Amino acid sequence: MMNKKAIYHRTDDFTLLQGDCIRLMGEFDFKFDMIFADPPYFLSNGGISVQSGKVVCVDKGEWDKGGSPEHIDQFNEEWISACREHLKGDGTIWISGTYHNIFSVANKLTQLGFKILNVITWAKTNPPPNISCRYFTYSTEFVIWARKEKKVPHFYNYQLMKKLNDDKQMTDVWRLPAIARWEKSQGKHPTQKPLALLARIILASTKPGAWILDPFAGSSTTGIAANLLGRRFLGIDQEKQYLELSRARREELESQTILHDYRHRIKDIEVMEKMEQREDLNYFKKSSISPLPTTSLIQPWFLRPVIPKCLTNACQTDGVPDYPSLL
């Protein structure tokens, strides 16, 4: 039974737990449809980089200071094992990293019985410059996608990914920008991922209403993207300042104006909504029904949040409880 004190924030679709993810995952039995994890890269070694034209230290905190290769391997084995216990039989896990940790992660996934499906290369369209000029500029990160069981089929929204890629098969190289300024409206996390990256991951591998776990939640980009797409989220983090940032980011979405603006700024969501609107208009044309309200008592269509048909059944998923049995 989990200690209620670990619950930092709780709503029907967005829950935050404070504490060590390995310990907390041992205190409840709920299984998730998908897990996204952005574990420590162990990069805080006194190096420098450039952000917004300024030279800054890359140290992120004690949690990101690396140990020996043996220590990193042991850490990865422990948290991935804990995640495996909370993943449904047909569920998948996504893990992001750089060359500093991704090879250890891949080895542990294989050793623990996962089947690696893809290694996505996230090619940043706006990487920070290379200060030393002694090697190629770092512009990529990797995201491993793996399913829990080697012989149990997983969900992949192939047709949607193809549509989002101009009707061509989407490859494992994704050209997406790094985090934008508008995503830092409530503050920022030193390893914050862009909403565009998480939106694509969630659209590709989950259905509406799915439960998603992030054991290293940070500023909860995973949760914000999940809620924008009609999915439900549980995030775990040790740092109170980032849990508070996560809560503030989620509360920001209560504004319909901000919600609509976020959906408009994320290309995959915008393209998907336009596709859905075209399908609706085609339906109305065939059925001779007007798609626009004819009474002033109905809120004008251009002021209503655009909710694609794929979100309308968000609460009608089979076998997904309304809330995790954490308590």
All domains of the chain in start order, with CATH = 4-267 (3.40.50.150)
Q: Are strands 54-57 and 48-51 parallel, antiparallel or unpaired?
A: antiparallel
What type of residue is 288?
A: S
Sheet holding 140-147, edge to edge: 7-10, 14-18, 232-237, 211-214, 32-37, 87-97, 140-147, 115-124, 173-176
Does residue 278 surpass a pLDDT of 80? no
Look at phi and psi of residue 166 and say left if phi exceeds 0, alpha if psi is from -120 to 50, else beta. left
Average pLDDT value for residue range 115-133: 92
Average pLDDT value for residue range 198-213: 97
Structure tokens at 224: 């914000």
User: Mean pLDDT over all residues of the chain?
Assistant: 83
Cross-strand partners of 122: 141, 174
What type of residue is 295?
A: T
pLDDT, position 19: 96
Of 36-45, 111-120, 152-161, 197-206, the least confident: 36-45
Regarding predicted confidence, which is higher, 5 or 77? 77
> What are the tens digits of pLDDT across the range 297-311?
222 222 233 333 333
pLDDT, position 3: 80
Query: From residue 151, how far is each of 62, 113, 114, 116, 118 by CA, in Å?
Result: 39, 11, 10, 12, 16
CA distance 175 to 117: 19
Average pLDDT value for residue range 61-88: 86
Cα-based angle 40, 42, 48 (whole degrees, multiple of 5): 115
CA distance 135 to 126: 18
pLDDT, position 205: 98
Cα-based angle 41, 246, 161 (whole degrees, multiple of 5): 70
What type of residue is 21?
A: C
Give the model's confidence band at 292: pLDDT under 50 very low, under 70 low, under 90 confident, else very high.
very low
Regarding predicted confidence, which is higher, 313 or 133? 133
Look at phi and psi of residue 155 and say left if phi exceeds 0, alpha if psi is from -120 to 50, else beta. beta
pLDDT over 70 percentage in the chain: 78
Regarding predicted confidence, which is higher, 61 or 199? 199
> What are the tens digits of pLDDT across the range 209-262?
999 999 999 999 999 999 999 999 999 999 999 999 999 999 999 999 999 999
CA distance 62 to 130: 25
Give the SS3 label for residue 301: coil
Query: From residue 215, how far is each of 25, 203, 235, 280, 319 by CA, in Å?
Result: 9, 20, 6, 38, 23
Q: Which of 52-61, 84-93, 131-140 has the highest mean pLDDT?
A: 84-93
Which helix (H) or strand (E) element contains residue 228? helix 221-228
What type of residue is 58?
A: V
From the list 37, 7, 213, the residue with the least C-alpha distance to 142 is 37
Q: Are strands 115-124 and 173-176 parallel, antiparallel or unpaired?
A: parallel
pLDDT, position 50: 52
Rounded to the nearest 10 degrees, what angle do helices 221-228 and 195-205 cross at?
Answer: 60
